[in-house]
Structure formats: structure tokens, C-alpha cells
Amino acid sequence: MYDTIHLVPPVVCDRCGAAHTSTQTHLFSDCLLDWEPGMIIAGSATQTGILKEEIYCCNTDAGDYVRLPVWIVIWHGVFVGHETDIDKAHLRLNQTDRLDMLKWLENSQVEARQWKGRYQRLYRDMQEWLKQRDAKPEDDIDLKTKFGGIFNRFPEEILKDMDPLARIVERNAPDTPAPGGWFDS
């Protein structure tokens, strides 16, 4: 089993020009995990150092492959990034400091908050759709009449759509900006 290392920026093959955005490795945990710069690599035996990995580029006309060396930089158990030159990898390791770690921590927390907000909006939308779908006319749950409709944030076009679940998923997709409002997460 391999872990996947995401290479930011991509490693470009000198021979064919192919850009490699990730590679697989046995250097870390062998648990089929994905690793990006700034992530803590709990399974790595190396806490601070430089590890060598190779990318096999098969995009050559002759059908053979090229080995591209990639130097993986780890600082205090954190995947700092990669370099294609050992000297640049040493320089990067020596220039990494606690401010970089704070930046990675901030990015991680922002991403976690965004994920949690998307999940909560998706969950609320699903609850509202189920409530309105299963409502009987005598239940009087029409939110349009309660409080002048001020708390009705669920779009009518979703209820009338042929595939409301697809619209709910689209509305809560990661690339869709969160709707602004008083009670949004």
C-alpha cells in the first residue's frame, strides 16, 4: 500500500514536459493516506530531515521511463514540501520556522471551519427539505406565513425542481460560496 504525496508546485519532467502533481510513496504510513504541505505526518520515522523519493515519468516517445528525484522535506513531523534539488531541499529545511507552522495551522483550521459550515448547511437543507416534503396541509408549517417569512431561507425552486437532492448538493458544493445571513455558519 502506498501513501500519496501531493506536489505543490508540480514536478515537471525535463525530457517530455509532463507535470506531475502527486506521487506515491512508502516513506510515511503505508495507509493509503494523502499528504499535502503543512500536514503532520504521524507515521514517518523521520521527524526532521530530507527523504528521497523518485517519480517515474512514462510520457516518453521511446516508451521507456525517466526517474525524477524528489526530495521530501520534513520539519518537526510536518511535511514542509518538496524540491527537485538536494541543495534546495537543505536550504528549505534550514529556512523553515515556527511562523510557517502557524501558517499551516491557520490554513488547516480555516479549512476545517469551511468543511463544518458546508456540512451544517447541507444538514439543515436536508432537514428543511424533508420537513416540507413530508408536510401535510393541516400541519400548518408554512414558514412563509410565520413571522412574515423572515426565517424562510430555503429556496422555493429547490422544492419545485425535478431533482431537489441534486440542487441541495449543488447549493452546498465546496466551490459554491456560502450564502450570507444572520444564522449561517
Q: What is the DSSP letter of 120?
A: H
The predicted pLDDT at position 142 comes to 55
CB 72 within 8 Å of CB 5: yes
- Report the predicted TM-score, pTM, of the whole model to 2 decimal places: 0.67
pLDDT at 138: 64
- Check residue 144 and give its pLDDT: 54
> Residue 79's pLDDT is what?
92
Per-residue model confidence (pLDDT) at position 145? 56
- pLDDT given for residue 65 in this prediction: 83
| CA atoms of 7 and 115, how far apart (whole Å) | 23
Dihedral angle sign, alpha carbons of residues 135, 140, 145, 147: negative
Domains of the chain, by residue range, sit at 3-96, 106-171
Which regions in the chain score pLDDT beneath 50?
Answer: 185
Q: In the numeric block, which cell numbers belong to residue 96?
A: 523553515
pLDDT of residue 185: 46
Q: What is the pLDDT of residue 175?
A: 79
- Please say whether the beta carbons of 106 and 88 come within 8 A: no
